[in-house]
Amino acid sequence: MIESMMSFVMPIWEWLPMWIQVLVTNVFFIVIIMVPLMLSVAYVTYAERKIIGYMQVRIGPNRVGPRGWLQPIADAVKLMFKEIIIPTNSNRFLFLFAPMLSMGPALAAWAVIPFADNIQLADVNAGLLYILAMTSMGVYGVIIAGWASNSKYAMLGALRSAAQVVAYEIAMGFALVGVLMAGGSLNLGDIIDKQAGGFFNWFWLPLLPLMVVYFISGVAETNRAPFDVAEGESEIVAGFHVDYSGMAFAVFFLAEYANIIMIAALTSLLFFGGWMSPFGSYADVPLLGNGFHWFVIKTMFFIYMFLWIRATFPRYRYDQIMRLGWKVFIPVTIVWIFVEAVMAVMQIGPWAV
């Protein structure tokens, strides 16, 4: 059956021009990455409500489907059928364009993520730089949304968010400089290969301060609690998306969760060995050896950290956020890069070339 289908399909496939073949295969792989990603985005929202619910000694969503498992689907259906209200005097095109701008980069960055050994969409030499560039793009959605809504609250939220993201991006970039010094490459596959050999060979240990700075900056970058002044309900209602409703709002919401998964995946790739197994010497035992499942487990752990942090800490005041970003994180990263440079010259640790 499959044999005869293949013999029918293959000549047509080979008849197609080269670039259409490339296009079709790439679109196919993109769909393979995107569909599970969007599903996990939906279920991270469910996990958040459930986990924070239990942390606050309540049950969380439990009405739709068994134990509330269909809740994200119900939410999506509800949001799809709600009206998208476009405020008068808003900039119509930019108002509708902003949610896409915040969603696009969050998904585009997945192109270079290695899911397992040699399994990635694009093996880019400058993969780390590409990710940094893509994550720095996300702020446009917020700024444009704030401006196009033609509302004071939205504008204030956008300005806060822009200042915050630009501040934390520097610390994040410096933390990544530390990673690329340790990995000796900008290629994500090479960085993971350099972490081979189990739990204590991962970069979290030699780069501990950078790991902490990176993860906290990631929380700040995604505008999550306790850094969610961009939407601080008590001061500026809901910040940049106060005027959005229905699916336009939902896209912002999904982009936030896509970014959380992104930062969690990056933390596990850059500091926790990605798909490397923590039991370095048991590489031959099934499930204990290297594999995709380790990447998933680590990513899920960091997503859980995001939720845990949200449930634990009160919101930062704005000036304290700025102080933390500029006066604490950036000096810490600079000092650690200096330490790394000295150790590289002295041939100590993973930097010994």
Partner 1 sequence: MSFTEIVFYAFSAIMVVAALGVISARNPVHSALSLVLTFFATAAIWMLLEAEFLAITLVLVYVGAVMVLFLFVVMMLDINITQMRAGFMRFLPFGILVALILAVQMILVVGPANFGLDVAGFASPVEHAADYSNTKELGRVLYTDYVFPFEIAAVILLVAIVAAISLTMRRRPQTKYQTPGKQVMVKKEDRLRIIKMQTEEKQ
Positions in the binding site for partner 1 (CB under 8 A): 18-19, 22, 91, 94, 124-126, 129-130, 132-133, 136-137, 139-140, 143-144, 146-147, 155, 158-159, 162-163, 165-166, 169, 186, 323
Q: How far is the CB of 145 from partner 1 (least distance, A)?
A: 12
Q: How far is the CB of 129 from partner 1 (least distance, A)?
A: 4
H helices, E strands: number in the chain: 14, 0
**Cβ closest to partner 1, residue 91 vs residue 245:** 91
> Cα–Cα distance between 142 and 98 in angstroms, integer?
7
Cis-peptide into 286, omega within 30 deg: no
- 261 Cβ contact partners less than 8 Å away, ≥ 6 residues apart: 37, 40, 41, 44, 299, 303
> Cα–Cα distance between 45 and 75 in angstroms, integer?
10
Q: Is the CB of residue 116 less than 8 Å from the CB of residue 297? A: no
DSSP annotation string for 133-164: HHHHHTHHHHHHHHHHTT-HHHHHHHHHHHHH
**Cβ closest to partner 1, residue 113 vs residue 250:** 113
Residue 223, classed as helix, strand or coil, is: coil
Residue 103, classed as helix, strand or coil, is: helix
Closest CA to 137 of 107, 157, 159: 107
Q: What is the DSSP code (8-state) at residue 348?
A: -
Name the β-bridge partners of 119.
Answer: 116
Closest CA to 146 of 134, 160, 129, 131: 160
Q: Which amino acid is at 190?
A: D
Q: How far is the CB of 125 from partner 1 (least distance, A)?
A: 5
**Cβ closest to partner 1, residue 87 vs residue 246:** 87
Q: How far is the CB of 104 from partner 1 (least distance, A)?
A: 12
**Cβ closest to partner 1, residue 51 vs residue 216:** 216
Q: How far is the CB of 151 from partner 1 (least distance, A)?
A: 13
**Cβ closest to partner 1, residue 67 vs residue 323:** 323
Q: How far is the CB of 12 from partner 1 (least distance, A)?
A: 20
Q: How far is the CB of 168 from partner 1 (least distance, A)?
A: 12
Q: Is the CB of residue 277 less than 8 Å from the CB of residue 17? A: no
**Cβ closest to partner 1, residue 162 vs residue 212:** 162
**Cβ closest to partner 1, residue 149 vs residue 277:** 149
